[in-house]
Amino acid sequence: MLSPDSEVRIKEIQTICGDSFSDLLVRFAPDRQMQVCKDLEYVYAGSYPSLSEINMTYGDNSAAEWLIYQLTFLGLYAGVKEKFTEDNILQLALVIQHEYYYLNIAEMMLFFVRFMAGNYEAFYGVVDPLKITVSLKAFCQDRMSELARIESEQEKKDVMKRG
């Protein structure tokens, strides 16, 4: 049984992502990455659900299933000869869901945008799951810096408001 707080959060998530998992797949499809990520501050400080909250709302491994769509898009974008195997992509999605459960859906989309922009590791002839996880680790370091910057800017605004 869910706590009252969890039930409230699920309703918030359904407002953002849709009532069904199919709605989430449409609203957060790979071709919407740029649109979702246009406001960097909201990506980090907004109310987007984390990967674990996606699972709580839409069922176990829903986040992994959503990640498979994002990873497939990344593999196609990379234009490499050897694509993911079904087993590789499933295992990678499950690893990301487990290790990065705290990242929200927009942060994950931002990671994919930045990866495709060449900010992290590159593929050479084959889609390499380890390059993605190493890049995700680097993204999380960037994320920490950006969150600190956003918090510092907010503190400055608060001080200016007070006087």
**Among residues of the chain, what percentage have pLDDT more than 90?**
75
- Confirm if 161 and 153 have CB atoms less than 8 A apart: no
Q: Give pLDDT, residue 82.
A: 79
Angle between helices 105-116 and 51-58 (to 10 degrees): 130
The answer on pLDDT for 126 being more than 90 is no
Structure tokens at 59: 């069922």
Q: Give pLDDT, residue 138.
A: 97
- Nearest alpha-carbon partner for 147 in 48, 40, 44: 44
3-state secondary structure at position 122: coil
Q: In the chain, where are the structural domains located?
A: 4-162
Q: Give pLDDT, residue 88.
A: 93
The answer on pLDDT for 41 being more than 80 is yes
pTM, whole model, 2 decimals?
A: 0.92
Question: How many whole angstroms from its chain centre is CA 48?
Answer: 9
CA distances from 101 to 51, 90, 104, 105 (A): 5, 16, 8, 10
Q: Give pLDDT, residue 60.
A: 96
Q: Give pLDDT, residue 55.
A: 98
Q: Give pLDDT, residue 161.
A: 84
Q: Give pLDDT, residue 80.
A: 80
The tens digit of pLDDT for each residue in 100-116 reads: 999 999 999 999 999 99
The answer on pLDDT for 49 being more than 90 is yes
The answer on pLDDT for 131 being more than 80 is yes
Q: What values do phi and psi take at 103, rounded to 5?
A: -70, 140
